[in-house]
Each structure stands twice: as C-alpha cells, then as structure tokens.
Amino acid sequence: MRALVQRVSEARVTVEGEVIGEIGPGLLVLVCAMEGDPPAAPEKLAAKISKLRIFRDEDGRMNRSLLDSGGHALVVSQFTLAADTSRGNRPGFSTAAAPEAGEAAYIAFAEALGGLGVNVATGRFGADMKVSLINDGPVTIWLDTEA
C-alpha cells in the first residue's frame, strides 16, 4: 500500500456538494492499495502512520505522533498514487489493486487506524471527491509498505 500523509490544521472531503468527512488538526491520508499487497499491508501502514513523529512537542520539535497529539485522520482513497509515468506523459495505473481489492484494503486501513485509537473520518471509495485542506508546516510524507 502507498500513502501520502499531510499534517493539516483542518481538512474535509465533499461528494456532490455534501461534506462527508471532516477533521480539525491531524493528518490527511491519501491511500492506494497496490496489486499484490500482502493481507497485512493495511494494518502495517496504519501502525506506521499512527506512530510517525511529525507533530510538534512543547519545544516546537517534530517529536509527537498522531496518537500522542490526539489528532484526527481523514482517510481518502487515491488510486492515482499508483501512477507510472515511465513511458511518456500519460500516467498508467495498472499497478493499483483492482477496485474490489482496493476498496477492501482502504476500509481495512481506516478500520485499523481507528482500532489504534485514532478518530477517523473517511471519503467515499470510487467517488468524485473534492478534498480541501490547510497544510500545517507544510509537512508531507510519502509511505510505501513495500519500500
């Protein structure tokens, strides 16, 4: 699985003009299941993200995790994280998991993150979503369970 994690002051996702997920301070997590991901990938990625020390401590240093800070997570499916641009200017997405497997992994990831004690809001798998955020820092981190 792949994820792009952004530390945010706030974030929201809308579908057809309706807000379906919204958080205050925490992380916006764009997540993509990849073809061939092992069954444990969602839990592995959730554990890593929940413990990333990217929130400021009392001294202003990035020393606290999402769990330490009590922040929330907005989890949004993003198959375009599988983009392959090695053969020209039009990205290919053949390394993304098939939609059924991708949705199952996305749900498993959100549930695993919630099971670790993170307050999780989500987007809607496969929907045309509009995501807005205020990036804090900015802090943006790329994660790949197979890297």
**Ramachandran assignment for 61, one of left (phi > 0), alpha (psi -120 to 50 degrees), beta (any other):** beta
DSSP code of 98?
Answer: P
Return the closest-CA partner of residue 132 out of 2, 1, 17.
17
Q: Give DSSP secondary structure letters for 107-137.
A: HHHHHHHHHTT-EEEE--TTS-EEEEEEEEE
Question: Which residues are catalytically annotated?
Answer: 78-80
User: Given the DSSP bridges, would you call strands 72-77 and 26-32 parallel, antiparallel or unpaired?
Assistant: parallel
CA distance 122 to 76: 6
